[in-house]
Each structure stands twice: as structure tokens, then as C-alpha cells.
Amino acid sequence: MSRVYNFSAGPSMLPEAVLNQAREEMLDWQGSGMSVMEMSHRGKEFVSIAEKAEADVRGLMAIPDNYRVLFLQGGATSQFAMVPLNLLQGATKACYVNTGSWSKKAISEAGKFAEVIVSATSEAEKFTTIPAQDSWQIDSDAAYLHYTSNETIGGVEFQEIPDSKGLTLVSDMSSNILSRAVDVSKFGVIYAGAQKNMGPAGITLVIVREDLMGNVPASTPSMLDYAQHAKSDSMMNTPPTYSWYLMGLVFEWIKNNGGLAAIEARNIRKAGKLYDQIDGSDFYSSPVDPAYRSRMNVPFILADDSLNDKFLSGAKNEGLVTLKGHRSVGGMRASIYNAMPEAGIDALVSFMQEFERSNG
């Protein structure tokens, strides 16, 4: 059976090299006689896997020594609550930038713990752009400024790190982490679910500056306290060991393929090919402001939406799957994370050209 090109927004496709290695090690990890799924999370075998994964991601992202790297459960959605619980530290206000569906969810959850100041929003523009930073209203009394670096549904992406005006900067990077280099030292917290660029669902990467930990309200559950997770090396309870292992294999794959510089260059090429096809045709269009187009999630619309089902069916016949756009946007969406090879983009562009010739 041949593999398809999976354009799903998440869980997304994984690198074939990672899947092949996992298959080879499924029954016996490096002579241990066990699958990773069967190992004690406190045994020397799994501890070595966990330590290597942390070392590799620290190297890839150049994470400074005064940051802790946590491997947690609950997805990025749990971080919507953990961020205010850990970072308010006596403050009553937090600033959020609203650029799409995931920003809105983060804002809603933070509102349970603090007065949320929406410093900027593009809701009136149907989340097709990002408000100019000189228009943001940032309250100096707020504990932090939160933004979503890439909106999976709307396909808008920050192309530079925003100026937080002295506030601790927090970012949900679930859908573009490890797709480009970022200066971690500019952030207080970075968090990301794994199931788009780092591995299978079930584990979340959290990078938190050490001075921000250890000052939560007394009523905070231990499982929502960054300091407790750091103290236990992310093993307060049994972690999702196999997801952690696969995440480590993805980190190793990125290292073996030139690191973030090479990955970013490839992502630029991939996105460029697809946007060039969309922009060069009257048959397809992008609803997103070109200045903020995502390299990871590319929504596009057919001139005649009555052809949507035919497009999806034809694409599936060509091994191009999960291209249906989110219901709030419509049309199509191609999610082209790190693991999507350039050959997948070439195949999609070729299909789009032929579909236009036949139906335009």
C-alpha cells in the first residue's frame, strides 16, 4: 500500500524516516528486549530517551540555560489555564492578541483567572490579517502578553516576534514550532502541542523561564504548577512515554536534515510554490493578507464553490487527502508542516493545474 500525502491540520503526517525507525524498534528498543511502550518511565532506558529528547530540542532551538523544558499532557488547551495560573503572580490583568480561533479559546480560558485585555484583534476582518503592532493597546500593569504565532484555521502567521513593551511574552506555537528559528530568550513561556510539527498527539512541549516558576496561588492543583513539573523532570505521573519517544525521533530527524535553518528554507520553498499557484490563477484565491500568510496552513478558495466536492474527490484519487477547509472558513486548506515533502507540494500543484484546465 502506498502512502498518501496527508494535508491534515493535525494530527499531521510524520517523517517516513521516523516511522520506519519506530517500526524497526517496535518490539525491541536497542537490545532492551522491550518496546518503548512497555518500559518503566523511571527505568534507565526510558530516562535516556527523555534526556536525549530534551538535549536535542535545546540544541535545535538554542534554549538558554535559565529555561526549563517540560514535556506535559493536556495539549496546548491545558496551557490556556496553566499560563495565567503560573504567570499572574498577584497581578489581576493579562494582555492577549486575538488573531483567530485558538487565540479566542486562550482568551476565554484566561478570563476565568484574570481581567483579559484584548490588546488587538482582527475579528472584524474575519481573522485574515494581523493588526499592525503600532495599534496594539498594551497595559503596563498586565502580567504578560500572549499571542498565537500561527493560527491553524485562518492561516495567518506572525513573521516576526512582537514587541511586548516590557511585559513577559507568551506564545502558543503549536502549529509552527520548529518550522523556523526563534529567539527563545525573548519569551517567558513558549508552549506547543506535538501533533503538528513534533510528533503524535498526547504530549505538549513547554519552555518556561525559571524565574517565572514557583509563585502560584495556594489553591492551584499540583498538576497545573510548572515548578512541580520541573522538580519531577516532567514525571509527576506516568507520562505519555511513546509520544515522548517519537517526539525525540522527530527532533533527531530535524538535526539530521540540517537543523532549523534548512527546515525553514525548505518551508519557504514549499509555501512559495503553493502560493504562486494560487496567486497565478483566477480559479483559486487566498483570503489571507499576503503580509501574514502562514507557511504551515494554506487556506484557498475555488472560484466556483460548487466544485469543492469534486476537487476533494479528485485530489483523494491522486493520493492528496484531508484538504477540506475548516467549516468556519470553507474552501480548502493545505497544512504543509515540516514532514510534508516538497514532492507533496509538487503533486498538489500539478493536480490544481489539471483540475483548473478541466473545470475552469
Which residues are designated catalytic?
A: 102, 172, 196
C-alpha to C-alpha distance for 225 and 48, rounded to whole angstroms? 25
The residues that bridge with 204 in the sheet, in sequence order, are 72, 193
C-alpha to C-alpha distance for 250 and 133, rounded to whole angstroms? 34
Cell of 71: 514535556
- Strands 332-335 and 297-302 turn out to be antiparallel
- Where b means 16+ CB within 10 Å and e means fewer, 31-56 reads eeebbbeebebeeebbeebbeebbeb
C-alpha to C-alpha distance for 303 and 306, rounded to whole angstroms? 9
Cell of 5: 500525502
Q: Of 161, 144, 19, which is closest to residue 83 (Cα–Cα)?
A: 144
Q: Of 205, 253, 193, 196, which is closest to residue 229 (Cα–Cα)?
A: 205
Can you list the alpha helix ranges (DSSP code H) found in the chain?
16-24, 44-61, 75-87, 101-110, 226-231, 241-256, 259-279, 308-317, 342-359
C-alpha to C-alpha distance for 321 and 57, rounded to whole angstroms? 30
Q: Of 2, 335, 280, 321, which is closest to residue 153 (Cα–Cα)?
A: 335
Provide the 10 A C-beta neighbour count for residue 350. 13
